[in-house]
Structures are given as structure tokens and as C-alpha cells.
Amino acid sequence: MAKIPGLPISDLLRHLEVESRRSGIPLNEFVMLLCDILGESRTGLYLRREECLNHAQMDLLNQYLERLQQHEPVQYILGRAFFYGREFTVSPAVLIPRPETEGLVELILSQARPGMKILDIGTGSGVIAVTLKASEPSLMVDATDISAEAIAIARRNADNHGCSVHFFEADLFPPLLEHYDLIVSNPPYIAPDEYLTLPPQVRDHEPVIALLAEDEGLDYYRRILSHSPRPGSATCSATRYFFEIGYRQAESMENLAYEAGFERVEILKDLNGLDRFAMID
Ligand code: GLN
């Protein structure tokens, strides 16, 4: 895209509208970048519509727009995302939290009793663990991720929200043998063939390690439910498991859980009416 020259904000907005239509990238994302550069809300933008951006702001806007046109998600450009009404730091080392996952947190909060011990497996940016602890401080929350970079971001998010969560850099289970009241996970669940069909925002920018799973996307559920980490590492069990699942995975999730010896599997839908969560005990 051609560099935009310095224009009054009102003209700039019209220009961004044209760019949005041309590229198919939602106007909202363009406006978020502009708001961030000016440190303004949308109303603030409107009130300052006669002003021009200075050189530094214009340079930054042009850089951001270039990245947006490369399909880089706006959350990575700005380094933050919203989840359950809170702001979280994100980087390309972690998955951008999805609104569906808020449903998982809501489900757990409706079931958890004060003081319960919870493990969040594959915590990524830490959104599930931190939101649970911030919403119900009596919960004891542990969280794992295999990626050291993800753990560093999750720790930062916990600190920013004043939450004490114990983080472990580990493959699924923390190093100590423990029993949890609840184990929650939004693990990678995209099968290899489906991965190829994902939009470029996801496939070219989000971490493959956070998305892709073997065994038709079921590998992590199987490993968690069968308590079978890689040889030599610890294992954990729980009274109840909560998973986010792919919307076509309900039946295989049920079969997998019954085969692993569980007695009850409940599948719940997300706000779009798609099968999205599994509650297993
Ligand atoms: N638990 C994090 C989330 O829900 C990360 C999930 C993942 O990386 N698969 O956003």
C-alpha cells in the first residue's frame, strides 16, 4: 500500500475506510491502530478530527498499516488483547485469546467452589489461569506450558493483574504428582489437514505449536485424559476436566473419554451454537 501522507484525522479516517474496503480487513482494526497511536478513544478521535498527526505518529501509522496489510493480527501489532473484560499482553509466542474461550472460563466459574485447586494446561498467555484467579481469588491455580516464552508472558499477565498463579514450564503436567479438583485446557486441537485451510492471519502469524495436534486434533486430550505424558515426566489427575474442543470434535471427544474410563461427558455449546466445550468426570 502507498504511504499515507500527513492528513487531518477526518481525511485519514476516510482513507482508512477505502483501504479497509480494498483489503477486506475490518475498518475496526485500522481505527484501533490509529486510536493507539494517539492514545485516544474513538470519541477522542472524532473530537480531534481537524488535527493532523505529527511526523513520528504518521511514520508509526504507516508501519502499522504495512503490518496489517501483511495480515498480521492487530493484537500482535499492539501487543495486547482483551479477554473477559481484562487486558492481556500477547506476542507471536502465544495464541491470541479467543472469545469462545471466555465461555470455558464462565463454565468453570459456574462450577468451581471456593478454595478448589485448578490446573490450566497449555496456558499460553495465561488468560484462563489469570482470569480464574482474578475472578475467584480463593482458587489455587497452577498452570503449565511447554514454551518458556509463553510462561514469561503468562507470568507478566498474572503480575499485571495482581494474581498469584504458579507457573511451570512443562510438557502438560507440572513436575510434582498432584491431584487437582479441576483440570482445564484449551490445547492445540487443529488437525494437520485443517491447519492448511486456516486464514493467513492465523497460519502465518500465530504459533503453530499452540494450534496443531496430531491424531485428528485429539492428541492432547488423549494424553491428558490417559495421564500419559512423555516417558520420564510426571503425571496428574483431576476429579473433573474441562476442555475447549473443535466444533466437530464432540463425538470423538466422547468416545475418547469413555475409552479412557470416564463415566460422564457433557458437551456444551458456545455463543454461536457450536459444540465447543467438554466437561468430563
Ligand atoms: N490457554 C490459552 C488460551 O486459551 C492458550 C491456548 C493454546 O495455546 N492452545 O488462549
Is 64 within 8 Å of 16 (Cβ atoms)? no
Nine-digit cell string for 49: 478530527
Nine-digit cell string for 184: 482445564
Quote the Cα angle for 98-104-105, to 5°. Answer: 95
224 lines ligand 1 (CB under 6 A): no
Cα(128)–Cα(114) distance, integer angstroms: 17
Kindly give the confidence (pLDDT) of every residue in the chain, 281 residues in length, as a single tens digit, with 9 standing for 90 and above: 566 666 899 999 999 999 999 999 999 999 999 999 999 999 999 999 999 999 999 999 999 999 999 999 999 999 999 999 999 999 999 999 999 999 999 999 999 999 999 999 999 999 999 999 999 999 999 999 999 999 999 999 999 999 999 999 999 999 876 789 999 999 999 999 999 999 999 999 999 999 999 999 999 999 999 875 555 556 778 889 999 999 999 999 999 999 998 999 999 999 999 999 999 99
**pTM score, whole prediction:** 0.93
Measured in Å, residue 101 CA sits from the centre of ligand 1 at 8
Quote the Cα angle for 127-164-158, to 5°. Answer: 35
103 lines ligand 1 (CB under 6 A): no
User: 187: Cβ–Cβ under 8 A, 6 or more apart, which residues?
Assistant: 121, 122, 213, 220, 221, 224, 243
Atom of ligand 1 nearest to the CA of 211: 9
Is 181 within 8 Å of 238 (Cβ atoms)? yes
Cα(30)–Cα(65) distance, integer angstroms: 7
Rounded to the nearest 10°, the torsion over CA 47, 51, 54, 58 is 70
Mutate to test the pocket of ligand 1, among 86, 96, 123, 212 (most ligand atoms within 8 A of CB): 123
